[in-house]
Structure 1
Amino acid sequence: MKAHKILSSQILKKKKPKPVVLIHHGHSLFSALLSSTSQPITSDQSQSPSPNACQTSQISPAVILESVRSSQWHFIEHQSPNLDPSLISTVLFNLHKTPELALQFASCIEFHRLDIKTRCLAIAVASRLPSPKPTLQLLKQTVSSDIASVTVIFDELAVARERLGISTTILFDLLIRACCEMKRVDEGLQCFYMMKEKGLIPKIETCNDILSTFLKLNRTESAWVLYAEMFKMRIKSSIYTFNIMINVLCKEGKLKKAKDFIGFMENLGVKPNVVTYNTIIHAYCSRGRVEGARLVLNAMRSKGIGPDSYTYSSLISGLCKEKRLEEASEMFEKMKEMGLVPSAVTYNTLIDGYCNKGDLEKAFCYRDEMVERGILPTVSTYNLLVHALFIECKMGEADDLVKEIGERGLVPDQITYNILINGYARCGNVKKAFSFHDEMLTKGIQPTRVTYTSLIYVLSKRNRMKEADDLFEKIMSKGITVDVVMFNVLIDGHCANGNMERAFSLMKEMDKLNVPPDDVTYNTLMQGHCREGRVEEARQLLDEMKRRGIKPDHISFNTLISGYSKRGDMKDAMRVRDEMLSIGFNPTLLTYNALIQGFCKNWEGDLAEDLLKEMISKGITPDDSTYLSLIEGMGNIDHSVESCNSS
């Protein structure tokens, strides 16, 4: 028989209650005093206390304390609804020297049901534990429950701190850390100033928590305001503090000031470490300034600080971004020669670089090297390779690689599925694209805007515009934010299918949803008009683009030139070409081909040949289309001459 089942409200006839001994397997566990005005209960009742008995009994703190110390958790859980805040507080206070038991007690009586005062006392007792994790967890629960504002929580923690005689600032420091980890940094900062008002100095680690959170949230100005306040309060910065502030300068793009800051910290007696220099090197490389990063690397070495794997990974990444892949590979080999172990991230950087170059052989070599060195390819590794295979239209190899992901025990992520859906969409495989969409849902992976854009694209390319429109409406009803790219894909589908009315209605919908059109939107609509021979309407769209501050590009001008040329309006076509030149755009192969084709159709072969010479002089190589237009033009001239002779 369990002990908590045989403990009941012992009713005593005398004014002075007798001790009730709880027997468990023949051993006396504790003596408890229970007082009541009811009649004594029977032995059956003692084994299973009635609800009424539980509600009317007054349980003393001594009973609960002995229950905690003898691990009678079932009994405490059973009596939990009857324990008032005063009793719980008394028990918690008496357990402050054994915080592990206090934490178990708080959990057993359901911490989330306690009032704010009792919660804060429980948190204060838990703060005596060697690890801060339990206290942090309780603080997060309390802050997120919105039972009270952070200001009230701070005040109640101050009361509990005083009651328990805690001399350190740990409770407030942990409250600030909890706020920062929950991204409620403004409330953390509020606590910082409340500490200041009480004459308490936060630990430097606490200040670093706030600074670091501001950095993650890109609130660099707030970080500087706090840093200045720390300086006024004479809170001594640690190496971690300086590294955060250097990172802040790097995020602001102030790389020279970041380098100068190293001198400032050295003057204050704090030596920079590898993280300090890595932060600046990474900032230079991410902005494509590898040579600047090399100078920082040299300064780092001059101070006797050796580069690590992260240093080289940043430099390799920077070189790959600048498409200096051979140098990146050389640096990678040097890194390995130094005994530094590259991470999966470093390999992925090189794989990405060679995939973008179209050198899949080299990309797969790095994947194989990873495996040989015992570095497991990540989902990102496979995502890069699968995407590259789709671009090369190597569908079978892409499918094999997808199977390999599962064989290695890796779980495809949102990006994997988006790559697969986009790849099959571009190949026009509607069935396969939608099957991966369904698989996403089955695995609990939510499709994104990118997913749906790819699906609308494949439907549009297959002229299934009704389904594309239905899917678009479904997306809108789900509350998914649509962007200009999705609108452009749908508009392009309707333009290609000759439904200009629907295309322009979508543009109006963009305005309603505050989705500004871009040059692609206008180019698509212009192409739709030109396809139907309505070049003047296309011209009006170009003018509208300019009025809205959207810069036309080569496609905009080439669309009009092609439209006028097909219609035989070569003066208008050349006028657009001149306009194109006036704003700094050089004609492209498409420009010349459209003009040459137009002049040849108008039997103006001499002008067409002049344009051919001009394009060659500008370093533009003619293609088959160029020569085909010229040949057809010569045929037109010959046919015209024959007609004249016969007449």
Structure 2
Amino acid sequence: MKPRKVLNCQILKHYNWKPIIIPPTHTLFSLRFTSTNPPLSTIPQTQTPTNPTQHHLLTTIHSSQWHFIEHLAPKLPSSLISSTLLSLQQTPQSALQFINHIQFDRLDIKTRCLAIAVVSRLPSPRDTLYLLKETISSGMASVSEIFGELGCARDCLSAKSSILFDFLIMACCQLRRADDGLECFYIMKEKGFVPKIETCNNMLNLFLKLSRTEIAWVLYAEMFRLRIKSSLCTFNIMINVLCKEGKLKKAKEFIGFMESLGVKPNVVTYNTIIHAYCSRGRVEGARLILNAMRGKGVEPDAYTYGSLICGLCKEGRPEEASNMLVKMKEIGLVPNAVTYNTLIDGYCSKDNLEMAFTYRDEMVKQGITPTVSTYNLLMHALFLESKMVEADDMMKEMGEKGIKPDAITYNILINGYCRGGNAKKAFSIHDEMMSNGIQPTRVTYTSLIYVLSKRNRMKEADDLFEKIQIKGLLPDLVMFNALIDGHCANGNMDRAFALLREMDRKKVIPDEVTYNTLMKGRCREGKVEEARELLDEMKRRGIRPDHISFNTLISGYSKRGDMKDAFRVRDEMLSIGFNPTLLTYNALIQGLCNNQEGNLAEELLREMISKGFSPDDRIYFSLINGIEKVDVFLGNSDA
């Protein structure tokens, strides 16, 4: 065992240590000088000096007797701590240990800033940034006050560098306190200090992440005024800002600007623009950037191809994405799990599960472990095809491979069983989710409310709706719509409209789905005029009606035999740019036939066919039935 350091005689003399006999009932303050405890009768008991001097402290610090420092810490005045720190400025590691043992959070703002200034002389900024973040987060002073105290500490140390202020801005950035960082930037500017380019890049990058692109441009302009020379990193950030703003053409032009200043773009520069083009569905534009990139001698990497593969899959072109994967491999680039997951998602979206599983198997052969996202994508696709057993098998496989399901996994399973009407299974998975420490989300509860509504269990749906609000989870639009739909389908229109009013109280803005559901409910009751009023209310609230809105009214009037009103709604639908759909023609033809207007119904049928719609059996049945009624009415029937 490594021997412990022994206090020298001078320290014992300074601190008046005397051997005493301590009764066994007393609590011992024990200092071990060797690995073996001495007899109780010989353990020294300290008498803390009433006025420890700087010399005492420094001697103890240099001897690394930190237990003494900890014992004295509560009684050390700020003036003594400060003078000791000033004496330790040439040994910042000792200063760091000193403030750690006297507890940094006990210090006032002035002493803290002096300690930070001394510690900033260490080669690594890690400890300085940590102490700055602790000080900022404590709320004991504003950043401008901290800036001022750091300036005083800098003067005490006769430091020429302004790095302390850069560190303060960097600490603000790491805490995502962008406005505080910007305030420090302007204080530096006012006092004649110029921030380092790395500091500016940190701020620009934070404003980018926070989507505050306008402020990023303001800061970039200030950098120009201060003649802070942009680095490659700076240009890459600003190109990213342009891409986030959707200004892709300007982003391309920015490459020429940086080249004119002697800064050569790298693969990150081009990847930023390629990714932006692909994420906006402009893969062909991304290909042009790829060609320009190669023309400048910059070779694409795995991220470049990953962006192109993702863009092609989003456009519903997974086959071309597969070809891109082949090219990627040909030049020696290795795809990762994200690339394979993108292809799996692309083929799942095209209902090609065979190819999706082929890529899952390929990634395994390449030694790439499928991620939880891989399984989520495949399970979701299986549920869409009502392959419940296969989805359950995937869940078991995840467990066998030690892959922990996440909230998305459970939501996919719950939603799948809810869609299938299996409420019991859905709730059992919800319980499993909770037992595994994963908190259900709005998506979880919306699915459960949906299945309860479809099973006509509206009391349970309402109870669950109230329960989740007690838990602090606020319902969103989709959840409200699911519950309203259930009550409308079950004829509980008063409750449905009560939920609409609750949406207004909770500032959840209804959409066309909300109103369409309520309109259908009114039409089921035969209250078509009230449904019509809901359509007008939609317009007043700035909610644009869709095909379903108009078709609901057309169907309501047609079933009631008010064909004049039905056609009036059809004309209104046409006037705002909506063409009739199959549902429109179905409702109108059936209404005409029920009114013994077979000739008009046949004319509408011919119009329908000319528009490219294929009539279904119900239309022909309605026409035949309607014509028979017309013949009977005219007395032309053989009967």
Scaled by the length of structure 1, the TM-score of the pair is 0.90
Q: Does 1:359 align with 2:359?
A: no
**Which residue does 1:574 correspond to in 2?**
567
Q: After superposing the two structures, state which structure 1 stretch, 172-181 or 463-472, moved more.
A: 463-472
CA contact (8 A) 1:599 1:607 kept: yes
- The sequence identity of aligned pairs, in percent, is 70
Q: What is the distance in 2 between the residues matched to 1:372 and 1:80?
A: 61
CA contact (8 A) 2:204 2:237 kept: yes
CA contact (8 A) 2:406 2:438 kept: yes
- Mark the CA change 1:285 to 1:58 in structure 2 (over 3 Å): closer, same or farther: same
Which residues of structure 1 form unaligned runs of 5+? 4-23
Q: What is the distance in 2 between the residues matched to 1:30 and 1:345?
A: 66
Q: 2:459 aligns with which of 461, 466, 479?
A: 466
**Which residue does 1:406 correspond to in 2?**
399
Is the partner of 2:10 in helix, strand or coil?
strand
Deviation at 1:33, TM superposition (A): 7.0
Q: What is the distance in 2 between the residues matched to 1:224 and 1:461?
A: 52
**Which residue does 2:10 correspond to in 1?**
31
**Which residue does 1:253 correspond to in 2?**
246
Q: Does 1:108 align with 2:101?
A: yes
Scaled by the length of structure 2, the TM-score of the pair is 0.91
Q: Deviations over 1:323-359 (max 9, x none)?
A: 1222221112111111111122221221111111111
Deviation at 1:123, TM superposition (A): 1.7
CA contact (8 A) 2:17 2:47 kept: no
Q: Does 1:331 align with 2:310?
A: no
Deviation at 1:92, TM superposition (A): 2.8
Q: What is the distance in 1 between the residues matched to 2:7 and 2:556?
A: 100
Q: Does 1:383 align with 2:373?
A: no
**Which residue does 2:140 correspond to in 1?**
147
Q: After superposing the two structures, state which structure 1 stretch, 106-115 or 470-479, moved more.
A: 470-479
CA contact (8 A) 2:594 2:626 kept: yes
Q: After superposing the two structures, state which structure 1 stretch, 491-500 or 604-613, moved more.
A: 604-613
Q: What is the distance in 2 between the residues matched to 1:396 and 1:641?
A: 59
Q: Deviations over 1:226-261 (max 9, x none)?
A: 111110110000000011111111111111111111
- Mark the CA change 1:134 to 1:625 in structure 2 (over 3 Å): closer, same or farther: farther
Is the partner of 1:201 in helix, strand or coil?
coil
Q: Does 1:450 align with 2:429?
A: no
**Which residue does 2:226 correspond to in 1?**
233
Q: How does 1:479-518 map to 2 (within 5 A)?
A: 479-518=472-511
Q: What is the distance in 1 between the residues matched to 2:110 and 2:9?
A: 29
Deviation at 1:633, TM superposition (A): 4.3
Q: Which amino acid aligns with 1:173?
A: D
Deviation at 1:412, TM superposition (A): 2.0
Q: Which amino acid aligns with 1:385?
A: L
Q: How does 1:120-159 map to 2 (within 5 A)?
A: 120-159=113-152
Q: After superposing the two structures, state which structure 1 stretch, 445-454 or 265-274, moved more.
A: 445-454
Q: Deviations over 1:476-496 (max 9, x none)?
A: 333333222221111111101
- Mark the CA change 1:505 to 1:272 in structure 2 (over 3 Å): closer, same or farther: same
**Which residue does 1:93 correspond to in 2?**
86
Q: 1:523 aligns with which of 512, 516, 537?
A: 516
Q: Deviations over 1:258-286 (max 9, x none)?
A: 11111111111111111111111111111
Deviation at 1:645, TM superposition (A): 5.1
Q: Does 1:623 align with 2:616?
A: yes
**Which residue does 1:194 correspond to in 2?**
187
Q: After superposing the two structures, state which structure 1 stretch, 63-72 or 277-286, moved more.
A: 63-72
Q: What is the distance in 1 between the residues matched to 2:388 and 2:567?
A: 44
**Which residue does 1:43 correspond to in 2?**
20
- Mark the CA change 1:361 to 1:626 in structure 2 (over 3 Å): closer, same or farther: farther
Deviation at 1:426, TM superposition (A): 1.6
Q: After superposing the two structures, state which structure 1 stretch, 327-336 or 27-36, moved more.
A: 27-36
Q: Deviations over 1:285-342 (max 9, x none)?
A: 1111112212212211111111111111111111122212222211121111111111
Q: What is the distance in 2 between the residues matched to 1:101 and 1:385?
A: 57
Q: What is the distance in 2 between the residues matched to 1:120 and 1:594?
A: 78
**Which residue does 1:591 correspond to in 2?**
584
**Which residue does 1:415 correspond to in 2?**
408
Deviation at 1:194, TM superposition (A): 1.6
CA contact (8 A) 1:498 1:528 kept: yes
Is the partner of 2:129 in helix, strand or coil?
helix
Q: What is the alpha-carbon root mean square deviation over aligned residues?
A: 2.7
Q: 2:541 aligns with which of 542, 548, 552?
A: 548
Q: Which amino acid aligns with 1:576?
A: V
Is the partner of 2:316 in helix, strand or coil?
coil
Q: What is the distance in 2 between the residues matched to 1:621 and 1:451?
A: 39
- Mark the CA change 1:359 to 1:631 in structure 2 (over 3 Å): closer, same or farther: farther
- Mark the CA change 1:92 to 1:40 in structure 2 (over 3 Å): closer, same or farther: closer
Q: Deviations over 1:547-574 (max 9, x none)?
A: 2222111111111121122222223222
Deviation at 1:399, TM superposition (A): 1.4
Q: Which amino acid aligns with 2:524?
A: R
Which residues of structure 2 form unaligned runs of 5+? 31-42
**Which residue does 1:8 correspond to in 2?**
none
Q: Which amino acid aligns with 2:149?
A: E
User: How many residues matched?
Assistant: 622
